[in-house]
Amino acid sequence: MRLIDMHCDTLWALMRKKEEDLKNNTCAIDVEKLKTADCLAQFFACFIYMDDFQGENRFTQAYEYALEMIAYAKQEISTYPGEMALATSIEEIEQNRKEQVISSLLTIEESGILDNDMGRLERLYAEGIRLLTLTWNYENCIGSPNSRDISIMQQGLKPFGKEVVERMNQLGMLVDVSHLSDGGFWDVIEHSKEPILASHSNARALCPHPRNLSDEMIRALAEKGGIAGLNLYPYFIHESGKITLDDIAEHVAHMYRIGGEDVLSIGTDFDGFDEGTSEIVHMGQMEQLYEAIKKRGFTDRQMEKIWYKNALRIMKQI
Ligand SMILES: [Zn+2]
């Protein structure tokens, strides 16, 4: 079954292990594993860890690092021309599909690197970035992160954050609310003219982590035509951090009951975590997850939507 994974941190992992590459690595994702998973498109996050940057101009340093990461990603992807290719549009994804090449889409995770400068958003778009995760786990020029602290969790988007959402709508970029505060989530729901997504977030009703989505949020995402990508990080599936394939399938079943079949998608978060224990630890095992979810009574048509068609739909629309 064709697959679109809306989120992984493999680039970040590879940037730290210079002796490894997209094909030969110790990561959860590599070219062969993507083939095993029958991957149509993989979203690669350029994740920026702000703790790595200090001083007054740390956001500028981080922005420059993001540009380096984009260049590195493009170089890695272009190393395997018959197997991987960059995609910046639905047409390119279709073209790559015809050539049996896996599409790679680039995203930014930590949009604080914009540092109130809309010119940087334009540049990132020109560089091929098609999705921005508005915050990571720190406050930035756009808004506040998810938090167990209610006062932080209620914080909405900042004025620049609202401008960014508007400009992303105009450019045709995917607005990603994973990691954002609840207040920010509701502001994006209100201000975005296009469907939005939570690229890698699960159901809070089953696992009460602030990174997950409440039932109200899942419903609002669905009503807006958006999607939520199933995250495989054990601590976002179950508080114990010890999970089975069936525990993961339970989140899909719950999100389906709340938001319907059009809201479901995949955002593995592979290479973005190493804590917890799980029955699925790399991209080559997606078939097993597919079977575990299908056992819940989903039809082939619904599984197609979860695995790639819902993601394709939102990309087409935007
Ligand atoms: Zn993340």
Can you say whether the dihedral through the CA atoms of 25, 26, 27, 32 is positive or negative? positive
In this predicted model, what pLDDT tens digit does every residue of 286-301 receive, in sequence order? 999 999 999 999 999 9
pLDDT category of residue 263 using cuts at 50, 70 and 90: very high
Q: pTM to 2 decimals?
A: 0.97
pLDDT, mean of residues 20-44: 97
**Mean predicted lDDT score pLDDT of the chain:** 97
Angle (CA) 280 181 224, round 5°:
80
How much distance in Å is there from the Cα of 145 to the middle of ligand 1? 11
CA-to-CA dists, residue 247 to 30, 49, 236, 241, angstroms = 25, 30, 11, 11
How much distance in Å is there from the Cα of 309 to the middle of ligand 1? 22
Q: Please count the structural domains in the chain.
A: 1
How much distance in Å is there from the Cα of 233 to the middle of ligand 1? 10
Closest to 185 measured CA to CA, from 159, 154, 215: 154
Which pLDDT value is given to residue 159?
A: 98
How much distance in Å is there from the Cα of 64 to the middle of ligand 1? 20
Tell me the CATH number at 179: 3.20.20.140
Which pLDDT value is given to residue 40?
A: 98
Percent of the chain past pLDDT 70, that is, above it, reads 100
How much distance in Å is there from the Cα of 201 to the middle of ligand 1? 9
In this predicted model, what pLDDT tens digit does every residue of 190-228 receive, in sequence order? 999 999 999 999 999 999 999 999 999 999 999 999 999
Instruction: Answer whether residue 315 shows pLDDT above 90.
Output: yes
> How many C-beta neighbours within 10 Å does residue 1 have?
15
How much distance in Å is there from the Cα of 130 to the middle of ligand 1? 16
Instruction: Answer whether residue 18 shows pLDDT above 90.
Output: no
Q: Which two tokens stand for residue 219?
A: 């419903």
The answer to whether the CB of 104 falls within 8 A of the CB of 131 is no
Q: Which domain holds residue 147?
A: 3-317
In this predicted model, what pLDDT tens digit does every residue of 55-112 receive, in sequence order? 999 999 999 999 999 999 999 999 999 999 999 999 999 999 999 999 999 999 999 9
How much distance in Å is there from the Cα of 300 to the middle of ligand 1? 29
Longest CA–CA separation in the chain, Å: 54
pLDDT category of residue 313 using cuts at 50, 70 and 90: very high
